Amino acid sequence: MIRTNKLLSKNNNQIKKHAKINLGIELLRFILCLWVVVIHCSKKTKNNFKLFSKGFHVPTFFMLSFYFYYPTLSDKNISKIKARFKRLIYPYLFWPIITLILNNILIKFTSLSKFRNAILIKDYFVQIIFGTKYCKIFWFQFNLIFLSICLTIFSFIFSRNILKCIKSFGFISLYIHFLGINKYFFNAYSELIKISLGALIELFPLCSIGCIFSSFGFLKTIKNVSFNNRLIFFFGIYILFKYDLFIIYGGYVYPNVLLNIFSSSFLLASFGSLNIRNSKVSTYIIQFIAKFTGGIYYIHPNIIKFVLFYLETKNSCFRSIFTYIICYLICFIGNKIFMKTEFKYYINKRININYSNLD
């Protein structure tokens, strides 16, 4: 009886916790991650579509990351700060090792050696120091870690003025970027330096906007955005990309910083204000498909190598969905085996729970 009450209390707490989750943002995470996989699975992508897509997925992930990290910074919550760095650093160190092993196995036992070279142990250390060598997508993780460290230090040095500090550095970054100082300074260096350190100036404004939005509870204050307004804004951004109507500033990863800020803010407002019925069914489905977006982002380049090598199809959409499903299954199984955590929405069917607070 005591055990049953404990299980009931635990499940009720989980339900109350997840009832507060913004399902629109969870859905957005799934769409953005799938979008990244689609772009990387497409062998040939038109330049305007690639630029358009780049204006949405990773910049929005970056803004979201610091949107949710800012409350931890402002509260100086040491335990949550440590938890964040564990979540960022562990995959940053682990997945490049897996990539190294898989790459060298493929080269040894398949004809991939015609197209790729073996990855050396020293390459791994270069990868960790600069964030990009043979795991190209980890420049994003490098910048997340680097800027998280910077903001954490700022939070303890400037204390109550942390937001003013973030705003100031965000404005300075934009100014340096628009003047071309950033590109002029890093042009003499290798691609490793350009992508890892040169991109910091391009990404800090997105980091700043995420923190500013978080400071006044952007997701809580925005009202429902009409479907027509969403369409108008979406196609407005697309036209700016398609016809080069927006000034293109020099940069390395995301040169159109202002446009990235506009598009990411639009997605945050559009999906954050979605009126999704917070029932147990919709909650389960959305959380189910969005659960492993981080892990899928880390491992999908490795899976794509297998898919493109063994799956003989020209249909990029099929390749993308197939890759995403395989990545999800790997993350799901790995989570069960190594993390030993229960699925967030697993409900013990033997216990009768009142879901009225979700309906």
User: What confidence tens digit (pLDDT) does each residue in 261-319 have?
Assistant: 888 888 888 888 887 777 788 888 888 888 888 888 888 887 877 776 666 666 777 88
Residues 6+ apart with CB under 8 A from 106: 112, 116, 305, 306, 309
Q: 340 or 86, which is more confident?
A: 86
pLDDT of residue 187: 85
The single-letter code of the amino acid at 137 is I
Average pLDDT (61-79) is: 91
**pLDDT the model gives residue 349:** 35
pLDDT value of residue 299: 84
The number of CA neighbours under 13 Å toward the Cβ of 280 is: 13
Give the pLDDT mean for 38-42. Answer: 78
Q: Which residues contact 47 (CB under 8 A, 6 or more apart)?
A: none
Please tell me the pTM assigned to this model. 0.81
pLDDT surpassing 60 at residue 1: no
pLDDT at 248: 61
Among 175-189, 215-229, 232-246, 283-297, the least confident range: 232-246
Average of per-residue pLDDT values in the chain: 78
In whole angstroms, give the CA distance from residue 203 to residue 206: 5
Rounded to a whole number of angstroms, the CA Rg of the chain reads 22
Identity (one letter) of the amino acid at 290? A
- pLDDT for position 118: 84
At residue 159, the pLDDT reads 78
Q: How confident is the model over 112-145, as pLDDT tens digits?
A: 666 677 888 999 999 999 888 888 888 889 999 9
More confident residue, 114 or 61: 61
When mean pLDDT is compared across 13-17, 145-149, 201-205, 324-328, the lowest value belongs to 13-17
What percent of the chain shows pLDDT beyond 90? 19
**pLDDT score, position 53:** 61
Q: What is the pLDDT of residue 6?
A: 46
Give the pLDDT band (50/70/90) at residue 237: confident
Q: Residue 122: its pLDDT value, please?
A: 92
Say whether pLDDT at 357 is over 60: no
Residue 319 CA to residue 333 CA, distance in Å, equals 21
Position 3 confidence tier, pLDDT thresholds 50, 70, 90: very low
Bigger pLDDT: 230 or 12?
230
Q: Give CA 42 to chain center in angstroms.
A: 20
Instruction: Give the distance, in angstroms, between the CA of residue 92 and the centroid of all CA atoms in the same chain.
Output: 14
- Burial (CB count within 10 angstroms: exposed 0-12, middle 13-18, buried 19+), residue 335: middle
Q: What is the pLDDT of residue 319?
A: 80
pLDDT surpassing 50 at residue 326: yes
